[in-house]
Structure 1
Amino acid sequence: MTVQCEVRADGARLVVSTSGRLQLADVVPLRDRLLKCLAEQPDALLIDLAGLEVDQPPALDAFTVVLRQAARWPGTPVLLCSPAGNTRQHLLQLPLFDDLAAAYAHLGDDHRAIPLISEDLLPVSGATRHARDVATEACLLWELPDLVAPASLIVTELVANVIDHAHTMMSLRISLRSKHLHLAVRDGTPRPPEPGGPDEPASAAGRGLLLVSSVADTWGWLPSEGGKVVWASLLRP
């Protein structure tokens, strides 16, 4: 990969500074690096392109993929910052800011954290019951009683999938966004999630991610540092 990415945290926001000469060979590693940043569920992801030179313009599709994924989950605003020059000319179809200062001005000074409940869980059968309790608590706390049942079902399946397939510690994160309730489970293996199904071993009483697909408004997964995040969203009433 000829492009370098320096990532730093600014409170609950992440800032990625890119540099180097962007080529088609960089698309996959650059995309995956930025998706891993999204998997951290920051309040905002700012991408500084000031140090980037574009050798092959089609490689800029990496940013389009990241913007599309952010719109699906976790709803994180992604702000591309590019001064006047060659790179900016190739990105005119995307929302752009002149520099990081302009992006920060757009976000404003409101650093209030997005409502979030997080729990670390062991890969044991009791984890599914605890996950349901956490989901119920979150929905009632945020006055979303109609989402208690679907949220509880989804976290049961996400946690059961880790127990049956990943066998690692996991982190359950439930966050409240403007239009959706987001539910995510992070585990310690980069392997794609197993679909599962009714014939799976009943170690966690799970019925598979096919059930998640039928209940959630949308769902998917992303690579993360040291593993992956499987997520689902429910539309708020």
Structure 2
Amino acid sequence: MPITYEVGADNGGLIGSVAGSLRLVDVPSLQVSLLKSLAEQPAALLLDLTALDVVDPLALTVFNAVARQAARWPGTPILLYSLKPLTSELFAKRVFHQLSIVDSLDAARAQLATDPESGRASVSDELLPVRGAARHARDLATDACLRWDLPGLAGPASLIANELVSNVVDHVHTMMTLRLSLRPRYLTVAVRDGSPVEVKPPGEVPLDARRGRGLLLVDATAHSWGCLPSADGKVVWASLRRAG
């Protein structure tokens, strides 16, 4: 049975159901599907593995890869639940010790309710790809940092917001969503646009190029940054480490 992935909303989070026979050949497509769920920046991603059969145990490392990305950005907790006995035995190996695995959906919701890091403040806005969008992005970033008592991050956050939004205005020409989120250790800035074309890493942009060098500034300013596919385009994100 081929692998399928279906997702639905759940009180600010997402429930994803992974079903079928998991083989190594299924890993790339399943990983993209899971990353697209993360790109929605849900409060949590709960993965129902009730109907999952594992043909190639090594393929389960796809969940490790997605969990590592979630830890970098957007900080979304991922919980796996309702595993079959054989699948549960495979996940008991040390390589999977950082994954959160519970018995049921109710148990997953209960664990989230007691998670001190589950609550995150955020602000967002929809922007047109026009002149003035970058200035609005800078203002939104500055206001958010001052509201969250992070004046030291106002400059770096506004610079990152400016560059990410400017990239969409200059190269993508679609509507975009700018979101700033406050996490226990990081402030994150993300811009979602309507183009599936991934951004070029800074090292691939010629130093004498007149355009496309904004990510050099993002790379130099951010603690980390990256690009994820979304359902209708992509999200470019960056994080800034909070003091203390």
Partner of 2:132: 126
Contact 2:50 2:84 in 1 (8 A): no
* Partner residue, 1:174: 180
SS in 1 for 2:46: strand
The one-letter amino acid paired with 1:69 is Q
1:143 equivalent in alignment to 2:145: no
Which range moved further: 101-110 or 216-225? 101-110
Shift of 1:97: 1.1
Q: CA deviation at 1:164?
A: 1.9
Distance in 1 between the 2:139 and 2:49 partners?
43
How far is the alpha carbon of 1:125 from its aligned partner? Answer: 2.5
Q: Is the 8 A contact 1:198 1:208 kept in 2?
A: no
Unaligned stretches of 5+ residues in structure 2 = none
Aligned residue among 149, 152, 161 for 1:155: 161
Contact 1:12 1:113 in 2 (8 A): no
Say whether the 8 Å CA contact 1:161–1:193 is kept in structure 2.
no
| Separation in 2, partners of 1:199, 1:120 | 32
The one-letter code sitting in structure 2 at the alignment partner of 1:8 is G
Write the distance in 2 (CA, Å) between the matches of 1:73 and 1:226. 19
- Give the RMSD, CA atoms, in angstroms: 2.0
Q: Deviations over 1:58-83 (max 9, x none)?
A: 11121111011011111111111143
In structure 2, do the counterparts of structure 1 residues 5 and 106 end up closer, same or farther at CA, with 3 Å as the change threshold?
Answer: same
1:192, distance to aligned residue in structure 2 (A) = 0.8
CA distance in 1, matches of 2:207, 2:236: 20
CA distance in structure 2 between the aligned counterparts of 1:128 and 1:26, rounded to whole angstroms: 40
Is residue 37 of structure 1 aligned with residue 37 of structure 2? Answer: yes
**For residues 223 and 230 of structure 2, what CA distance do their matches in structure 1 show?**
22
Question: SS in structure 2 opposite 1:74?
Answer: coil
1:4 paired residue number = 4
Counterpart of 2:102 (choices 97, 115, 138) is 97
- Alignment partner, residue 79 of structure 1: 79
Specify the code of the residue in structure 1 equivalent to 2:77.
P
1:217 corresponding residue in structure 2? 223
Aligned residues: 234
Q: Which amino acid aligns with 1:218?
A: S
Identity in percent: 55
Comparing 95-104 and 192-201, the one that deviates more:
192-201
Corresponding letter in the other structure for 2:178: L
Q: What TM-score do you get using the length of structure 1 for normalisation?
A: 0.92
Question: Shift in Å at residue 141 of structure 1?
Answer: 0.8
Q: Determine if contact 1:197/1:208 at 8 Å carries over to the other structure.
A: no
What displacement does 1:25 show?
A: 1.6
Matched, 1:117 2:160: no
Show the counterpart of 1:61: 61
Kept in 2: contact 1:8–1:14 (CA 8 A): yes
CA contact (8 A) 1:197 1:210 kept: no
Contact 2:186 2:241 in 1 (8 A): yes
Equivalents in 2 of 1:210, 1:37: separation in Å? 27
Higher deviation after alignment, 21-30 or 75-84: 75-84
Query: Cα distance, 1:200 vs. partner?
Result: 4.6
Instruction: Please state how far the C-alpha of 1:27 moved relative to its aligned partner.
Output: 0.4
TM-score, normalised to structure 2, is 0.89
Q: In structure 2, which of residues 214, 226, 234 is the aligned counterpart of residue 228 of structure 1?
A: 234
Q: Secondary structure at the match of 1:118?
A: strand
Deviates more, 1:188-197 or 1:60-69: 188-197
